[in-house]
Amino acid sequence: MDTLFDIKTYLIKLCVLLSLLTIGCQSSPINQTVYAATPDSVDLYFGPTMQQELPTGRNAVYAASLPLAWQAVRKELNLLDGVHTKSADLRMLDVSETVESTLDEDDYERDITRRGQFLHVKTKQEVNLSFIPSFEDFPQGLPFDDIIVNAFGTRGFQNPAYINQLHIAAYRDDNRFILRLTPPQQEHELFLFKADSAYSTFQQMYSDLVAACRHEGNDWRHQLTDLDEVVIPKVNFDQHHQFQQFLKAEFFVRQQKYTIADATQQIAFELNEHGVSMKTEAEIIVNDGAFPPAHTPVPKRLIFDKPFYIVMKKADMESPYFALYIANATLLEKENI
C-alpha cells in the first residue's frame, strides 16, 4: 500500500510540474503594449508645455523636446488642423505655440521610424556652454532650504573679470532680481530669476521675465560692482519620465483613429562654475513688470538661497527651450560639502 501511495503522489507532482511548464512556454500576445508604472516623481515634475499648471512647492522642469516631437508627429500624419481628442492634456500640447519660436530645425535631431503599426518619433537636443573665465568655486557652500549645497559665483574684486558674461537684467531688491549669463562666442542665453513668489505656469514666469528685462538700464541696479556678490547653487540631475496623462490617449485624423502608445522624456542638466550642460530627449509612439527705480546705490547680494527659476534660450529666438524651477535643494549638489 505504501508503495502504491508513493507512486500516486509522484504522478500528481509530475502532472502539476508539466502544467506549469506548459503555461510558462506560452507566447506573449503580439504587439501587446506594456505600460511602465512611473508616476510623477516627488522630486521633479515634468511639464509637457510652458502653459501647463505647475504643482505647488515642487521642483519642475520643461524642455522643448516633447512638443517638438509632437509637432513631428503632426507633420508625419499631415495634420492641417487641431486634433480631435477627448484628452485635455493632448489638446494643450497640440495648441502650444511657444515651441514654434524656440529652435531652428538644425538645432535639434529628429528620428522618425515606422515599425509595423507603430510610428516612433524621437527628438534630441544637446547644449554645452562654457563660462570664460570660469566663475569662482565657493567651497564653504550656500545655505538653501536649510541645507548646505555646493555653490559658485563672484564677489568683490573678482567681479570686473565677469562683466562681459554676467549681466544684471533686472533688480528690485535682494529677493527679486534677474541675472543674464551670456557665455562668450555662443548664441545662447541663461537667465536666473529669483522671484518673490512662485508662478502657476512657466509661461507666466517667462512673460514677467521678458517684461522686466525690457527695462534693463545703465544705473547702479544693472551694473556689477565690487560691492556686489553673486552666489549660485550648483545644479545637477538626470531624470527620465513617462507622461502617464498621454498613455492610451486617442485622437482622430480624417476619421482615422490613432492611439498614443508611449510618451517619454529624458532631461539632464548641470550648472557649475565652468558652464552649463543641458541634454534632452523625447519620444512619442503613436499606434496606426517693470521694477521701480531707486536712487541711492547699495551693495547687492545676488544670492540664490531661496526658490528660483532657470531659463535657457537662443539669443535670436522669442521663446525658451528649457525652464527649471528650483523649489527645494533636491536637485542641488551637496556631496562635496
If we measure between CA atoms, which residue out of 222, 229, 108, 112 comes closest to residue 172? 222
Residue range of the domain that includes 179: 129-235+290-331
β-sheet bridge partners, residue 210: none
38 lies in some domain: no
How far lies 92's CA from each of 44, 61, 75, 110, 246, in Å? Answer: 21, 17, 17, 22, 11
Task: Report the alpha-carbon distance of residue 35 to residue 40 in Å, rounded.
Answer: 14
Whether residue 184 is found in the same domain as residue 214: yes
- 295 and 213 housed in the same domain: yes
**Shared-domain flag, residues 183 and 301:** yes
Domain count, the chain: 2
pLDDT string in tens for the chain (337-residue length): 444 445 444 444 434 333 333 333 333 332 333 333 444 456 899 999 999 999 999 999 999 999 999 999 999 988 878 888 999 999 999 988 778 889 999 999 999 999 888 999 999 999 999 999 999 999 999 999 889 999 999 998 888 889 899 999 999 999 999 999 999 878 999 999 999 899 999 999 999 999 999 876 678 888 888 899 999 999 999 999 999 999 999 998 877 889 999 999 999 999 999 999 999 999 999 997 333 344 567 788 999 999 999 999 999 899 999 999 999 999 999 876 5
In this structure, is residue 1 part of a structural domain? no
User: What pLDDT is attached to residue 295?
Assistant: 55
Query: Domain check: are 226 and 243 in the same one?
Result: no
Same domain, 146 and 214: yes
Q: Is the same domain home to 141 and 263?
A: no
Domain termination residue (choose one: 268, 286, 304): 286
Q: Is 89 helix (H, G, I), strand (E, B) or coil?
A: helix
- If asked whether residues 229 and 323 sit together in one domain, one would say yes
d(CA 102, CA 50): 12
Alpha-carbon dihedral angle through residues 300, 304, 307, 311, given to the nearest 10 degrees? 100
Flag whether 2 is in a domain: no
Residue 133 lies in a domain: yes
Please spell the DSSP secondary structure of 55-81, one letter per residue.
PTTSEEEEETHHHHHHHHHHHHTT--S
For residues 194 and 82, state if they share a domain: no
320 and 206 Cβ atoms separated by less than 8 Å: yes
Question: Is 25 inside any structural domain?
Answer: no
Same domain? For 182 and 254 the reply is no
Q: Using CA atoms, how far apart are residues 166 and 179, in angstroms rounded to an integer?
A: 7
C-alpha dist (Å) from residue 241 to 108, 203, 210, 238, 261: 20, 21, 29, 10, 15
Q: How far apart are the C-alpha atoms of 190 and 310, rounded to whole Å? A: 7
pLDDT of 186:
80
Kindly state whether residue 273 falls inside one of the protein's structural domains.
yes
CB 324 within 8 A of CB 46: no
For residue 200, the domain's CATH number is: 2.30.39.10
